[in-house]
Amino acid sequence: MPVAIITGASKGLGRALAGALAGRGWDLVLDARSAEVLARAAAEAGRHGTRVRALAGDVTDAGHRSALVAEAWRLGGCDLLVHNASALGAEPLVELAELPLAGLRRALEVNVVAALGLVREALPLLRARPGAAVVTVSSDAAAEAYGTWGGYGASKAALDQLAAVLAVEEPGLRVWAVDPGDMATDLYAAAVPDDDGPRPEPGSVVPAFLRLLDERPVSGRYAAPALLEGAR
């Protein structure tokens, strides 16, 4: 069975993607900070009959990252690494003039440094699996200048560049940075609590990620709405 590591898997996109992969027969190693919520997500994915391992912890902790990769090794290897865990830097979001530097550091640590740390830890397993892939969850804030989204957007822009360089340095892997578009998630609610406009549920964009796995396009940055449109 193929094995995937998914960070930030207790809610939102990570949870929806975990369920979809489990439904396709994938074994999973799931990460999130809340043990209780993660356990519920793991139980939900486990109903498909695949092996699901839930490890609660913080992706900025090197020991936790090592444990995630070790668990994947025990399941047989790693075919897919999804870095979905994210930090905003401030909740709610604020303009750069008010952004706490500690918050920016946190966003960079979670969104960029931890992503690289986990990739480096998993590289021996990924290199050993023909067709292995890395997915980093990006944002349109990485490419567009939106007021109050500066710190978060800067961290996601850095993550996009990290993914692009990784693709050059590891030509045996597929490395996809994916902008999922607007979604109704706790992260967005924390970022802009006064914006209660309707947004798609995270599960609605999962087919875009599955299309990447099915069709295996070249490494690069992709927008989920375009992938979904192309699949119709």
Structural domain boundaries of the chain?
3-231
Distance between CA 206 and CA 210 in Å, rounded?
6
Q: Given this model, what pLDDT does residue 146 score?
A: 97
Tokens, residue 142:
């990485």
Q: What is the mean pLDDT of residues 63-81?
A: 98
pTM of structure? 0.97
- Interacting residues of 172 by C-beta distance below 8 A, sequence separation 6+: 127, 132
In the structure, what pLDDT confidence band is assigned to residue 91 with cuts at 50, 70 and 90? very high
Q: Is the pLDDT of residue 232 over 80?
A: no
Catalytic residue among 152, 155, 219, 222: 152
Q: Is the pLDDT of residue 85 over 80?
A: yes
Tokens, residue 109:
């640590």
Q: What is the mean pLDDT of residues 80-102?
A: 98
Among the four given CATH numbers 3.40.50.720, 3.40.47.10, 3.90.79.10, 3.40.140.10, the one describing domain 3-231:
3.40.50.720
What average pLDDT does the chain have? 97
Q: Is the pLDDT of residue 230 over 80?
A: no
- Interacting residues of 142 by C-beta distance below 8 A, sequence separation 6+: 153, 156, 157, 159, 160, 179
- Interacting residues of 229 by C-beta distance below 8 A, sequence separation 6+: none
In the structure, what pLDDT confidence band is assigned to residue 69 with cuts at 50, 70 and 90? very high
Q: What is the mean pLDDT of residues 35-49?
A: 97
Residue 97: exposure state from Cβ atoms within 10 A (0-12, 13-18, ≥19): exposed
> 222 catalytic, yes or no?
no
> 156 catalytic, yes or no?
yes
Tokens, residue 159:
């993550």
Q: What is the mean pLDDT of residues 11-18?
A: 98
Catalytic residue among 139, 156, 219, 222: 156
Q: Percent of the chain having pLDDT more than 70?
A: 99
Query: Could you write out the three-class secondary structure of 49-118?
Result: CCCEEEEECCCCCHHHHHHHHHHHHHHCCCCEEEECCCCCCCCCCCCHHHCCHHHHHHHHHHHHHHHHHH
Q: What is the mean pLDDT of residues 76-103?
A: 98
Q: Is the pLDDT of residue 129 over 80?
A: yes
In the structure, what pLDDT confidence band is assigned to residue 95 with cuts at 50, 70 and 90? very high
Q: Given this model, what pLDDT does residue 231 score?
A: 60
Q: What is the mean pLDDT of residues 105-129?
A: 98
Q: Given this model, what pLDDT does residue 185 score?
A: 94
Q: Given this model, what pLDDT does residue 196 score?
A: 82
In the structure, what pLDDT confidence band is assigned to residue 56 with cuts at 50, 70 and 90? very high
Q: Given this model, what pLDDT does residue 197 score?
A: 84
Q: Is the pLDDT of residue 152 over 90?
A: yes
Residue 68: which of 79, 82, 53 has the closest Cα?
Answer: 53
Q: What is the mean pLDDT of residues 212-217?
A: 98
For 10-38, give one letter per residue: b (16+ CB within 10 A) or e.
bbbbbbbbbbbbbeeebbbbbbbeeeebb
Catalytic residue among 138, 139, 155, 219: 138
Vertex 105: Cα angle to 59 and 173 (nearest 5): 45
